Amino acid sequence: MKHLISISQLSRADIEHLLEKAKDIKSSPQDYSQSLTNSIIAMLFFEPSTRTRLSHESAALRLGARVLGFADAGTTSTKKGETLEDTIRVINGYADAIIIRHPEYGAAERGAAVSDIPVINAGDGSNEHPTQALLDLFTIQEKFKKLDTVRITFVGDLKYGRTVHSLIKALSHFNVHISCVSPASLRLPDTFKNNRLPYQEYETWDEVADTTDVLYITRVQEERFEDKQEYNQLKDKYILTPKEAEKFSSETIFMHPLPRVVELSPEIDTDPRAWYFKQAHNGVWMRMAILSHILS
């Protein structure tokens, strides 16, 4: 694997290898502190990010690498009209790998096409977010000690939510049970459907609450809507409050890629089933596994 653009590039064995590696890194991170001491990692963030950028930076630093980059493309030559391809060609002379986030669907692939150094997709528009899918799998496995037979319910914006797209593709290698809960207009697009993993669609979680091991909640992706009125009508359709949480078993975990807006009540944070901050923290270990796998 040179670049990581889509989760579809990975086989079940590749995913299991990365899960194993992330587990080992989490249990003894000091053993990896010199793994990438001669590497420079470039962070090219053309779109807002907190977790994805900083956990990649943390991962690179914990591997002994150094980092450079930008978090606001408004301060770069993109503002003067430079193409993405030219930016990537130039950074090829400054770094050993590129982590890229971009608002356009397919941007990471376009970047990789002109790059001699590895490119890792940190989210391209409403398409994919493969490193998030891997850290999500790691978190599910940490709780259930397996992925096969786990029952996962996706909730919210399944149309534009790129973390859902990559995670569903990744799950197609495992014998999981998937349910999708969304408004009719925000259903999973056909391109991300998988024949190997048939799933049922619902408009409320009530029907699946007692058969859900992982409730994977997402934010309605405001920035992808042309019609803000439509966004306003959909944004608070699903809100996990303590009262709603009572419908789920004590063994269910609540996941969310974050940031949350209204869909996850802060009152849930003290519920032992709330796993979203653990999930965010796991990003560091999985991204260390990915970076060292690609660069060593």
Q: Would you please indicate which residues are annotated as catalytic (active-site) residues?
A: 51-52, 80, 101, 129
The answer to the question of residue 52 lying near ligand NCD (CB under 6 A) is yes
DSSP 41-65: EEEEESS--SHHHHHHHHHHHHTT-
Q: How far is the CB of 202 from ligand NCD (least distance, A)?
A: 21
Q: What angle do CA 32, 56, 47 make, to 5 degrees?
A: 170
Q: CA 142, CA 46: separation in Å to the nearest integer?
A: 32
Identify which of residues 110 and 129 has a Cβ nearer to ligand NCD in the complex.
129
With beta carbons less than 8 A apart as the criterion, state whether 99 and 56 touch: yes
CB closer to ligand NCD out of 177 and 280: 280
Instruction: Find the shortest distance in angstroms from Cβ 179 to ligand NCD.
Output: 20
Our finding on whether 69 is near ligand NCD (CB under 6 A) is no
Binding to ligand NCD (CB under 6 A) within 258-277 occurs at 258
Q: Which of residues 214-233 bind ligand NCD (CB under 6 A)?
A: 219, 221
Residue-wise over 191-213: b if at least 16 C-beta within 10 A, else e?
ebeeeebebeeeeebeebbeebb
Query: Among residues 132, 153, 179, 292, which is the contact residue for ligand NCD, using CB under 6 A?
Result: 132
Total of chain residues touching ligand NCD, rule CB under 6 A? 11
Edge-to-edge strands, sheet with 199-202: 199-202, 177-181, 151-155, 214-217, 253-255
**162 forms part of the interface with ligand NCD (CB under 6 A):** yes
What mask of x and - would describe binding to ligand NCD in positions 166 to 205, judged by CB under 6 A?
Answer: ----------------------------------------
The CB-of-80 to ligand NCD minimum distance in angstroms stands at 26
**Residue 287 interacts with ligand NCD (CB under 6 A): yes or no:** no
Q: Which of 264, 283, 282, 284 is nearest to 274 (CA)?
A: 264
CA–CA separation, 168 and 170 (whole Å)? 5
Q: Are 36 and 63 in contact (CB under 8 A)?
A: yes
Binding mask 109-128 for ligand NCD (x = CB under 6 A): --------------x-----
User: Residue 102, interface with ligand NCD (CB under 6 A)?
Assistant: no
Query: Using the rule CB under 6 A, which residue among 39, 58, 121, 163 binds ligand NCD?
Result: 163
* Side-chain half-sphere CA neighbours of 252 within 13 A: 22
Binding site for ligand NCD (CB under 6 A): 51-52, 123, 129, 132, 162-163, 219, 221, 257-258
